[in-house]
Amino acid sequence: MTGAARFLRLVGGDGVATNLKTKSVRGGAVAMVAECTDFAIRLGSVAVLARLLVPEYFGLLSMVTAITSIAERFKDLGLSNATIQKKEITHEQVSTLFWLNAGVGVAIMLLVVGLAYPVSLFYSDARLISITLAIAISFPLSGMAIQHQALLRRQMKFTQLAAIQISASLLSLALAIIMALKGFGYWALVAREVSRSVFMAAGSWLCMPWAPGAPSRQAGVGSMLRFGGDLTAFIWFGFCVQAWTKS
């Protein structure tokens, strides 16, 4: 079976169009429950790990995530929403967007890697170099899962998305607790962040077993890139306004 044929089998069905209103309401409820559950897990993880690790380790991670959290806002360039909103989409288009997202993930990783030494110099703590380098790995992993998650949302498979999100949080927390008990110190917190990206990517590929093909200039993604660019510009404008009002 060719990649395009497999893509059509996974995404091209007309089942989504039926009972759209019911599926939307149900999907919204599932997404809300998933977000609340994930928040509770994250809050609980802080309470548990705070008993196993010293506060200094949380501070080290916060020094790095203060920078990487900005990149998190823009890592998909609005291309996931472009995939979701387009009425009809092809294997070539999603494949091209997949490689764009993967490339952006690698670019952000290299940018974060380049900031590792300046961050450690700014805070006068050499440990931040290795922490930053490790956290940077999560961006290519996230980039390679963006289109798979977009396809799941397009198919309104919110239950599977919720399962991926909650499972990733639980598994990464379990790994962090084990490492904390084994005496790995702040690396337990780093492992929680990086492993969550690994579990999210693995779960996304497992629930949407689509393999991207080669990117193509003739895929016809111009309108999707413009949509993603406009959305990214809007998010960037909102971020700048928010930062300015807080300053």
pLDDT of residue 231: 82
- Nearest Cα neighbor of 75 from 240, 214, 197, 188 is 197
Domain ranges of the chain: 19-246
Q: Are 99 and 215 in contact (CB under 8 A)?
A: yes
pLDDT of residue 208: 92
- pLDDT per residue over 181-191, tens digit each? 999 999 999 99
pLDDT of residue 120: 94
* Average of per-residue pLDDT values in the chain: 87
Count of other CB atoms within 10 angstroms of residue 98: 25
Query: What are the structure tokens assigned to 149, written together?
Result: 């998650």
- pLDDT of residue 140 exceeding 90, the answer is yes
> In this prediction, what percent of the chain has a pLDDT beyond 90?
51
Query: What are the structure tokens assigned to 78, written together?
Result: 């609005």
- pLDDT of residue 74 exceeding 80, the answer is no
- pLDDT per residue over 2-58, tens digit each? 667 777 777 865 455 556 666 666 777 887 888 888 889 888 888 899 999 999 999
pLDDT of residue 223: 85
